[in-house]
Amino acid sequence: MANKIPRVPVREQDPAVRATNFEEVCYGYNLEEARLEASRCLNCKKPQCMAHCPVSVKIPQFIAKVLENDIAGAAKIIAEDSSLPSVCGRVCPQESQCEGACVLGVKGEPVAIGKLERFVGDWDLEHAASQETRETVSNGHKVAVIGSGPSGLACAADLAKMGYKVTVFEALHKIGGVLQYGIPEFRLPKDKVVAREIEKVKKLGVKFETDTIIGRTVTIDSLMDDESFDAVFIGSGAGLPKFMGIPGENLNGVLSANEFLTRINLMKAYKEESDTPFYVGERTVVVGGGNVAMDAVRTAKRLGAEAYIVYRRSEAELPARQEEVHHAKEEGVQFHMLTNPLEIIGDENGWVKAVRCIRMELGEPDESGRRSPKAVPGSEFEIPCNTVIMSLGTSPNPLIASTTEGLQTTRWGGLIANDEGATTREGIFAGGDAVTGAATVILAMGAGRKAAVAIDAYIKEKTAEQ
């Protein structure tokens, strides 16, 4: 039954405290809070939330189960469409998806769908409720999954449930892809959430081979010809950093957000026991306005820096989730909007001492619908700093495409694949950022699941032919 109570606030760590630690910012709902929030859902006949979810999670149905105090039931409903609710509940841009379409949002605050999903996901990880315990009978077919990020994990899990013998190949030493090296601990806890999600996939019988770089350690052709994998799914993400091409980018103290975040998240450089060094100066400028930029700037803040965002458009165009921008501000991050770097200036030893910027103003909307920024002549100024972190987006790694005959890519390096994930070469499927370029966890997960269905159909058809 819908009621007229306001959106149930979620408990968070105090901003002043959390700006000095790596503990999770948001504590999430407890059962009581979750049920109260669930009671706000109108259970619309034509649920707009569901229509705006990239994987069409049956949102009103799972929320109804939460209200009934049947959390296991809620988990099962989500599991039909999403394999990573604990992750997506934390990192999805709900305001532009489900919550953005919620009818309650027209006059007031939308239902906190993300927080409810997270609650159900975490409860499920704790209780292992939706996890299949039945023995899956192996169908004898082998599938290789390249990359252990969201798309690879989702694809591998679904294929394993169908009876395939799945091996996931990961280039790094840890499983999880961007969930491991990219998204920081304070937004996505590694032990509590990521490790458990991976454990779930392992329990399905999926094998993982870390330290294996496809295209270098072994090629796709060798996997198919010598190791008799019937099909391959490529979920290798978009891992290559971009730089601006401005003077001074090779100065000491300039690094990609990927490097900075990998040192901190994957290598745990902020921890005493880690051997990996990191560098953050007293004043750190992060260039960019996406989620990765927010992750980098908030990480720099936590490591003791005065932290600044430099972004060439205005706040309304920031591609980051609202929640991240809000959290960053609460933590004391300062924003230089409508500002674009022209040059990084070094001292006599080759270390960064300032970024020379120019003010921007917004012109007509470009093809992306965002108003394109234009430089204001004569408005150059300097921001003194010791670290500059470039967070300008990432692109797919060309390694696999360049070592696999017949795999075609777009002009910007994305693998060409149809809606089901089939690439230009038979038996090879792809999904996630490797196809779309840097996007979201939920889209990658959805693509992995679609490809699993297509791989199953492909192998069955192939077997029937023989």
Residues that bind another protein (CB under 8 A): 171-173, 181, 210-213, 216-218, 239-241, 243, 245, 249-250, 252-253, 255-256, 258-259, 262-263, 266-268, 273-279, 349-350, 397, 399
Nearer to another protein (CB atom), residue 105 or residue 241: 241
In this structure, how many other beta carbons lie within 10 angstroms of the beta carbon of residue 114? 25
Please calculate the CA angle 401-402-404 and round it to the nearest 5 degrees: 65
Q: In angstroms, what is the minimal distance from the CB of 147 to another protein?
A: 11
Coil, helix or strand for 303?
coil
Nearer to another protein (CB atom), residue 162 or residue 296: 296
Query: Can you give the three-state secondary structure of 152-169, one letter per residue?
Result: HHHHHHHHHHCCCEEEEE
Taking each helix axis as running N to C, give the angle between helix 31-38 and helix 59-67, from 0 to 180 degrees, rounded to the nearest 10.
120
Identity of the amino acid at 31: L
Nearer to another protein (CB atom), residue 227 or residue 366: 227
Q: Hunting for tokens 């999904």 — which residue is that?
A: 431
Q: Where are the beta strands (DSSP E) in 35-185?
A: 142-146, 165-169
φ/ψ of 423, rounded to 5, equals: -85, -170
Nearer to another protein (CB atom), residue 349 or residue 466: 349
Nearer to another protein (CB atom), residue 119 or residue 278: 278
Q: In angstroms, what is the minimal distance from the CB of 243 to another protein?
A: 6
Closest C-alpha to 388, from 260, 240, 239: 260
Q: In angstroms, what is the minimal distance from the CB of 152 to another protein?
A: 16
Identity of the amino acid at 466: Q
Q: In angstroms, what is the minimal distance from the CB of 22 to another protein?
A: 16
Which tokens is 170 given?
């990961």
Q: In angstroms, what is the minimal distance from the CB of 342 to another protein?
A: 17
Q: In angstroms, what is the minimal distance from the CB of 218 to another protein?
A: 5
Q: In angstroms, what is the minimal distance from the CB of 273 to another protein?
A: 5
> Residues with Cβ < 8 Å from 450, sequence gap 6 or more?
419, 420, 421, 431
In angstroms, rounded to a whole number, what is the distance separating the alpha carbons of residues 49 and 309? 32
Nearer to another protein (CB atom), residue 363 or residue 398: 398
Which tokens is 329 given?
């501000």
Nearer to another protein (CB atom), residue 20 or residue 217: 217
